[in-house]
């Protein structure tokens, strides 16, 4: 990049801002004269820059998810919204991953069993130690799921929750679609997690009649068996399972068939490529498969933000948020603080169990202490607060953390950054311990720039978000086969 173009860029941004014009107005002004106004010069220069950077970063149009049959999708849909899958019949997947709230719950910590209501209105629930993650474009997360890859794929291609053989491998061979392995395995775990869906000892047939062992190998297989008995008592489910898996009798099915169906639902329902960014890079039309790329899809600010995000000499965000899902599916020490009740599955770390050692919990490698998965950024503006524990209510505060991560951690004030007052007393003073584990060297290559550059980065993050907004309530079915109420 030459000095002159840098000047044009800064000057163009500054002029537009000083005059109080929007980017649209700036770009539109050219139409009046019929000649290239400065705004359009800047624009076409930025379009070229960003297209070069897209190529440099190897970013391709977002792939469509693998096709699934309508029958499998419909079974997965029913299961995703049906509270029958929870021990006390009080929680479904959608209770926490609610389509109306961008497939999450807008809470700092997730609220599971015993609760009533959705999202911030949910009361009376058992509180978990982590923030609910969104479910967009799961076909792009193939190596593992959750912020520490608690649900990983092992070298042989089997899903091993918490690194163990909890889901019998022969079940996986029977039921899992090879394109949806981790999501299928992950979909079997909340049902057997006490605080999320299972319930606590003595509360229901799973927690009274199944062995309460630890690690819970006996418990999970027993609970999944009873879950299939429950579903088998509902003729509509038996028909749906048999339609989804032609040639297999319900009597021969185990719970992995349910997990696989839920994954199929998630892949298709929560596929999202209707964003300005996709239309710029090239959007694959799900109906026709035709790819169309539109130079006009991004505003000037979004283009400037994209340039910073993608350029290794500027933001260098793509050194971690790589590819068209914006994640390297790897782990990094980015120095975000810890609060809440601690990692609850299978139990917390450190004194009182209030800490969460991150990736080390699963890998067992002390070098992974306080390292966390790079989250995918698609629809990120629909799923705040931001950070794995919902550390910041304001996206700009989250991004400012990248400027001086050590200082940001030391200066973090939970009362300013988190609205949920209940969390304020649950801040863990482990900051020196986090800093002592070191910071990812890549963070020193990140330059978020000044206030205007920060505005542009935020504009770019908006461009990664679906035009339809956070409300996907059109996905919610009116009823589920158990007849239990569906969270509206």
Q: Which is nearer to ligand HEC, 23 or 389 (CB)?
A: 389
Among 192, 423, 446, 470, binds ligand HEC (CB under 6 A): 446
Closest CA to 267 of 40, 442, 26, 65: 65
Among 374, 426, 459, 465, binds ligand HEC (CB under 6 A): 374
Cα–Cα dist 429/338, whole Å: 8
- Hey, what are 114's tokens? 């015993």
Residues 300 to 319 in contact with ligand HEC, rule: CB under 6 A: 309, 315-317, 319
- Please report whether residue 93 would count as binding ligand HEC according to CB under 6 A: yes
Stretch that binds ligand HEC, among 91-99, 203-211, 232-240, 280-288 (CB under 6 A): 91-99
Three state DSSP letters for 229-279: HHHHCCHHHHHHHHHHCCCCCHHHCCCHHHHHHHHHHHHHHCCCCCCHHHH
Q: What does DSSP say about strands 283-284 and 291-292: parallel, antiparallel, or unpaired?
A: antiparallel
DSSP class of residue 148 equals T
Among 187, 325, 354, 362, binds ligand HEC (CB under 6 A): 187
- Please report whether residue 62 would count as binding ligand HEC according to CB under 6 A: no
- Please report whether residue 423 would count as binding ligand HEC according to CB under 6 A: no
| CA distances, 344 to each of 115, 196, 348, 397 (Å) | 17, 10, 5, 27
- Please report whether residue 388 would count as binding ligand HEC according to CB under 6 A: yes
Q: Which is nearer to ligand HEC, 276 or 315 (CB)?
A: 315
> Residue 36: how many CB atoms within 10 A of its CB?
12
149: burial class by Cβ within 10 Å (0-12, 13-18, 19+)? buried
- Please report whether residue 122 would count as binding ligand HEC according to CB under 6 A: no
Among 23, 108, 133, 426, binds ligand HEC (CB under 6 A): 133
Closest approach of Cβ 217 to ligand HEC, in Å? 19
- Please report whether residue 426 would count as binding ligand HEC according to CB under 6 A: no
Here's the x/- map for ligand HEC, 10-49, by CB under 6 A: it reads as ----------------------------------------
Stretch that binds ligand HEC, among 5-13, 211-219, 233-241, 328-336 (CB under 6 A): 328-336
Q: Which is nearer to ligand HEC, 39 or 259 (CB)?
A: 259
Give one word for 28, left, alpha or beta, with left for phi > 0 and alpha for psi -120 to 50.
alpha
Among 65, 102, 112, 282, binds ligand HEC (CB under 6 A): 112
Cα–Cα dist 415/131, whole Å: 18
Cα–Cα dist 171/184, whole Å: 11
Cα–Cα dist 447/309, whole Å: 9
Cα–Cα dist 406/408, whole Å: 5
- Please report whether residue 282 would count as binding ligand HEC according to CB under 6 A: no
- Please report whether residue 83 would count as binding ligand HEC according to CB under 6 A: no
> Residue 342: how many CB atoms within 10 A of its CB?
22
- Please report whether residue 332 would count as binding ligand HEC according to CB under 6 A: yes
- Please report whether residue 82 would count as binding ligand HEC according to CB under 6 A: no
Rounded-to-10 torsion of CA 43, 307, 304, 274: 90
Q: Which is nearer to ligand HEC, 206 or 372 (CB)?
A: 372
Among 68, 78, 84, 183, binds ligand HEC (CB under 6 A): 183
Q: Which is nearer to ligand HEC, 125 or 281 (CB)?
A: 125
- Please report whether residue 359 would count as binding ligand HEC according to CB under 6 A: no
Residues 233 to 272 in contact with ligand HEC, rule: CB under 6 A: 262
# residues contacting ligand HEC (CB under 6 A)? 56
Q: What does DSSP say about strands 372-373 and 291-292: parallel, antiparallel, or unpaired?
A: unpaired
Alpha helices in 311-437 (DSSP H): 360-363, 395-400, 405-411, 414-417, 431-436
Residues 452 to 471 in contact with ligand HEC, rule: CB under 6 A: 457, 461
Q: Which is nearer to ligand HEC, 100 or 332 (CB)?
A: 332
Q: Within the chain, what is the greatest distance between any pair of CA atoms? A: 79
Among 49, 191, 349, 368, binds ligand HEC (CB under 6 A): 191
Stretch that binds ligand HEC, among 34-42, 165-173, 397-405, 469-477 (CB under 6 A): 397-405
- Please report whether residue 181 would count as binding ligand HEC according to CB under 6 A: no
Among 132, 260, 426, 465, binds ligand HEC (CB under 6 A): 132
Q: What are phi and psi of 323, to 5 degrees?
A: 75, -175
Q: Which is nearer to ligand HEC, 27 or 324 (CB)?
A: 324
Query: First-to-last CA distance in the chain?
Result: 52
**Which of 94-110 are b and which e, b meaning 16 or more Cβ less than 10 Å from the residue's Cβ?**
bbbbbbbbbbbbbbbbb
Which residues are at the interface with ligand HEC (CB under 6 A)?
A: 91, 93, 95-97, 110, 112, 128, 130-133, 135, 138, 141, 145-147, 150, 183, 186-187, 190-191, 196-197, 262, 309, 315-317, 319-321, 332, 334, 336, 372, 374-375, 377, 380, 383, 386-388, 398-399, 402, 440, 442-443, 446, 448, 457, 461
């Amino acid at each position: 990049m030459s000095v002159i173009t840098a000047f044009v860029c800064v000057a163009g941004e500054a002029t537009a801002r000083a005059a109080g014009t929007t980017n649209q107005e700036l770009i539109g002004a050219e139409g009046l004269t019929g000649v290239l106004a400065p705004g359009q010069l800047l624009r076409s220069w930025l379009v070229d820059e960003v297209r070069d950077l897209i190529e440099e970063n190897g970013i391709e149009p977002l792939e469509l998810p693998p096709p699934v049959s309508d029958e499998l999708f419909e079974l997965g849909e029913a299961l995703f919204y049906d509270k029958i899958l929870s021990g006390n019949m009080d929680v479904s997947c959608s209770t926490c991953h609610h389509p109306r709230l961008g497939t999450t719950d807008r809470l700092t910590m997730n609220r599971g069993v015993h609760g009533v209501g959705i999202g911030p209105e949910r009361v009376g629930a058992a509180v978990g130690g982590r923030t609910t993650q969104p479910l967009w474009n799961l076909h792009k997360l193939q190596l593992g799921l959750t912020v520490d890859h608690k649900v990983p794929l092992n070298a042989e291609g089997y899903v091993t929750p918490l690194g163990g053989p909890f889901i019998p491998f022969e079940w996986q061979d029977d039921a899992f679609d090879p394109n949806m392995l981790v999501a299928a395995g992950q979909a079997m775990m909340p049902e057997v997690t006490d605080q999320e869906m299972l319930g606590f000892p003595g509360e229901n047939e799973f927690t009274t009649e199944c062995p309460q062992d630890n690690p819970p190998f006996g418990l999970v297989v027993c609970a999944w068996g009873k879950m299939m008995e429950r579903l088998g008592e509902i003729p509509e489910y038996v028909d749906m399972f048999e339609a989804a898996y032609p040639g297999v009798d319900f009597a021969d099915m185990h719970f992995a068939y349910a997990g696989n169906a839920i994954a199929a639902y998630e892949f298709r329902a929560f596929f999202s490529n209707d964003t300005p960014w996709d239309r710029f890079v090239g959007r694959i039309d799900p109906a026709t498969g035709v790819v169309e790329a539109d130079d006009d899809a991004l505003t000037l600010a979004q283009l400037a933000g994209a340039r910073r995000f993608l350029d290794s000499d500027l933001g260098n965000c793509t050194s971690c948020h790589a590819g068209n899902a914006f994640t390297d599916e790897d782990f990094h020490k980015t120095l975000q603080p810890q609060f809440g009740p601690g990692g609850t599955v299978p139990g917390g770390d450190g004194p009182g169990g209030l800490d969460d050692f991150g990736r080390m919990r699963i890998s067992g490698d002390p070098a992974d202490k306080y390292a966390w998965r790079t989250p995918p950024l698609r629809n990120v503006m629909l799923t705040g607060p931001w950070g794995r524990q919902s550390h910041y209510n304001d996206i700009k505060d989250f991004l400012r953390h990248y400027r001086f991560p050590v200082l940001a951690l030391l200066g973090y004030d939970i009362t300013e950054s988190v609205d949920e007052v209940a969390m304020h007393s649950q801040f863990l003073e482990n900051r020196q311990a986090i800093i002592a584990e070191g910071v990812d060297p890549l963070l020193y290559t990140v330059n978020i720039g000044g206030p205007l550059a920060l505005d542009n980065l935020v504009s770019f993050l908006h461009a990664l978000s679906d035009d339809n907004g956070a409300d996907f309530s059109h996905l919610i079915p009116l009823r589920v086969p158990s007849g239990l109420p569906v969270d509206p």
